[in-house]
Chains A and B, each alone.
Chain A
Amino acid sequence: MTEQTTANAKMLRRVLLKAALLLLVCNVLFALRSPLPALGRISAYNHLFPGRARLPFGENPAKAYNLSLFQMEAMFASHEIAAADKAPDEYRVIVIGDSSVWGFLLTPQETLTAYINQAGHTIPAGKRVRAYNLGYPTISLSKDLLLLDYALRYQPDLIVWLVTLESFPYEKQVFTPLVQQNPQAMRRLIGKYTLQVNPQDPQFSDPTWLQKTLIGQRRTLADMARLQLYGVLWAATGVDQHIPESYTPRQEDLAAEENYYGLTPPTLHASDIAFDVLAAGVSHAGQVPVLLVNEPMFVSAGENSAIRYNFFYPRWAYDAYRQLLAEQCAAQGWLCLDLWDAIPGGEFTNSAIHLTPSGSAQLAGIIGEAIVKLASAQD
């Protein structure tokens, strides 16, 4: 070996050693400091790009220019609600719920909140009603509670919470990935309100120490970066969901199945389903009023429709749920609106709860009126 080659070999070893050390230090620091929340708040949305009209969610990122990620700070920082402090003349309404609120198969201009805003409601105090879409696909009250918890920092004047029986079963509470990936925040809420949700549920994703490192969190970091990049296409196109030209319509003919999540007719008790999570949400909102809306659903007239209302619900379970919800609303003094059959069956798209643009506009009309009435009463 020549002198030069030996020197080069030594240099190569030194470089590799330093690189390995640097990588190790960065990973250890990352795991110790957990900077993801701080990084999540750094966003080009509401600065370079307009804020998104709904929370990031995407099953087909390449076509939707949108993706699903579970880092709450990054999700909210990309939303238009984070654009600026509430204006003095704004009556801020936060709408939470499932994919029907988020607007599955609807453009951002066709969602419930979009139509409420388009109506230009004002309340007697002269404030204009401004609704924000904080719905998120997947049906679970815990997921709604988690989002409500985060959303409270945006100074809402009213919270509209759309629920349906499918969001109540205890099996569904830790089912959604958003809840599973935010175990600390969810456990805090479970502890605070002593919810009947197992805080040690194995579905919670508790990262190991290695998963907390820079390498362990590379997927989350990549998703956060991709969310920022998709801001360009959101700004350029206004598209945040791939809406196919055709889809399989909601099921009309139904199975003759009467059981519901292991519950059998004829009786449904309040303790069978997660009313405690609903109560926690109302309580968590504190002084901010919460309007609970039993959301509209498709009522089938097809095969076995005498047994079931639709794909989701046996009639006995849903009827009992409505009865229980009405009782709870009366007993707890909750503001409730039961709109279960308010929208005609033809206005549902690929599921028993997803609405057409026209159905969405009709629902916005009803809820908009209720908001104005409530806001006027608040004054």
Chain B
Amino acid sequence: MTLNHILFFSAAALAAGLLSRPRWRANLLLLGSVLAIYWLQPSTPIRNLDFWLPTATLAVSVLVWAVTRPAETANSRQDLHTGIVLTLAVAGIGLARYLGPLCCLTPTRPPQAAQVLPVVALAAVLIWLAGRFFSGRASALNLISAALLALFIILKTEPLAAAASAWLRSRTGQSTAFASPLDIRWLGFSYVAFRLLHTLRDRLNGRLPGLSLSALVTYVIFFPAFTAGPIDRVQRFSKDLEADFRLDAETVWRAGRRVLLGIFKKFVLADSLALIALSPENALQTASPLWMWTLVYAYALRLYYDFSGYTDIAIGLGQLLGVQLPENFTQPYRKANLTAFWNSWHITLAQWFRAYFFNPLTRTLRSGGRQWPLAAIVFAGQLGTMILIGLWHGVTWNFFIWGLWHGLGLFIHNRWAEFTKGRSSRLDPRLANLGGVLLTFHYVALGWVWFALPLPAQSWHTLQTLLGLAG
């Protein structure tokens, strides 16, 4: 999101809160979010892909709703109404190509009506059929989960993304020679996929309440949280949607402060620090340990201000719209150990992995036939979780090592906490806390060396420089 996007969204949210009637709110949020995901989608070198990607986001969201809805809500007029609105919205955004100067919401001209209308109609029929015949079936839920994961892996793995780009280019008659993994920039997909997976898993586990089409699609594409999270839980989100909300001065004040704080963090602090943060180029050019540490510190702070700034903006915009998004960062660099750090850094992603990977895995290991030692269970759970969190950012060796780094750190802290439990320390608690904060921050900062650079050899050289060991 650019500053212009944020200012526009803030003004629109304020206007919607002040002018619209409460019963219109759900519809406005849905329609606003649909328009926003097309507007925010960056252009791609593959023809018309900037129209098809948001359209695919909507189609997958509706499909997931169709197969997760309870049978008793089958022929709801409200859902039919929402379906028609969504179809008309997509068709309208596509047909905007014929509006001359008013074209277009998408960064490039959408495809011709002869392409858009049949695809939209076909998607509607297929989704209806899926809902009609596979709703609630475990096989369908698992199949869609697997497909989402497969798509996620393709997009996050450079050779696969390049191959997908080549395939798409061949479909549009473009040269495959220029295919690049960066071609398929599917805005928000990392978050969309994880919201949908959460919905599918909770449906399988019987923890998903009955949701209207409007509620589920709004939850998946809610525009303040679309690009950078947080990953809310649909159960909590839908309660906010249903609640009677009236925008008052106190909310405007609270939300406005949050948005302004986010803008300051992102566009002043983070963007300034980005100029001097560790990068593949300057890592190779810097020989002095002192300056290398400066670049690493700048990177650590930049990442925090960037990400938490976006979260503040999302939470502030959400408040203006009557949705209290969950916190994603709670002063992570002031935490005295790595476990506390991961309870306050990208909280909603960590919670997601805890709920859908760590807990099921450790439960299985505990209840399985073989008796695993507790330490081994913790080791497997933490290492596996952190490696997956690393790979969520991209399937590369560096993200793998970054995950491993944190997994090992968490395991060591877990064992240390176990070892020191019940033992009295002679250290002044304030001093111990300060030492813990410094140690944790530097462990995390060294981890960012793996995260920021693309190649293990380059990261290793940078670590050697930091420690004064580079030749």
Contact = CB atoms under 8 A, between A and B. Distances in A.
A233 B275 CA distance: 9
Given A232-B291, A236-B292, A236-B295, A12 B252 contact: yes
A12 B248 CA distance: 10
A371 B43 CA distance: 57
B248 A5 contact: yes
Interface string A1-41: 10011001111100100000000000000000000000000
Contact residues on B (Cβ < 8 Å of other chain), bracket: 10 to 19
A114 to B, nearest CB: 18
Contacts of A226: 272, 275
A8 B281 contact: no
Nearest to B286: A236
B8 interface: no
Interface of B: 248-250, 252-253, 272, 275-276, 281-282, 285-286, 288, 291-292, 294-295, 298
A62 B274 CA distance: 10
A235 interface: yes
Given A5-B248, A229-B275, A236-B285, 17 more contacts: A1-B248, A8-B248, A8-B250, A8-B253, A9-B248, A9-B249, A11-B249, A12-B249, A12-B252, A61-B275, A226-B275, A233-B275, A233-B276, A233-B295, A236-B282, A236-B288, A237-B286
Contact of A5 (B250, B272, B282): B250
Contacts of B248: 1, 5, 8-9
A4 B249 CA distance: 10
Interface residues of A, number: 24
A235 B249 contact: no
* 8 nearest A-B pairs in the assembled complex, by CB-CB distance: A236-B291, A9-B249, A237-B285, A8-B249, A8-B250, A232-B276, A236-B286, A12-B249
B276 A230 contact: yes
A12 B249 CA distance: 7
Nearest to A230: B275
A1 B247 CA distance: 11
Nearest to A63: B281
A229 B282 CA distance: 14
B272 A233 contact: no
B10 to A, nearest CB: 14
- Interface on chain B toward A: helix, strand, loop, or mixed SS? helix
B253 A11 contact: yes
Query: Chain A's interface: helix, strand, loop or mixed, by majority?
Result: helix
12 contacts: A1-B248, A5-B248, A8-B248, A10-B249, A12-B249, A63-B281, A229-B276, A230-B275, A232-B276, A232-B295, A233-B276, A238-B285
Given A229-B275, A236-B285, A236-B288, A4 B294 contact: no
B276 A5 contact: no
A8 B247 CA distance: 12
Contacts of A235: 291
A9 B282 CA distance: 50
A239 interface: yes
A63 B281 CA distance: 8
A288 interface: no
B298 to A, nearest CB: 7
Highest count of chain B CB atoms <10 Å: which of A11, A237, A239: A237
A225 interface: yes
A240 B459 CA distance: 24
Contacts of B286: 236-237
Nearest to A15: B253
Nearest to B298: A232
A195 B292 CA distance: 50
Given A63-B281, A229-B275, A230-B275, A236 B253 contact: no
Contacts of A225: 272
Contacts of A239: 285
Contact of A232 (B249, B250, B294): B294
B279 to A, nearest CB: 9
Interface string A276-299: 000000000000000000000000
A41 B276 CA distance: 22
A11 B248 CA distance: 12
Contacts of B275: 61-62, 226, 229-230, 233
Contacts of B252: 12
A226 B276 CA distance: 10
A237 B282 contact: yes
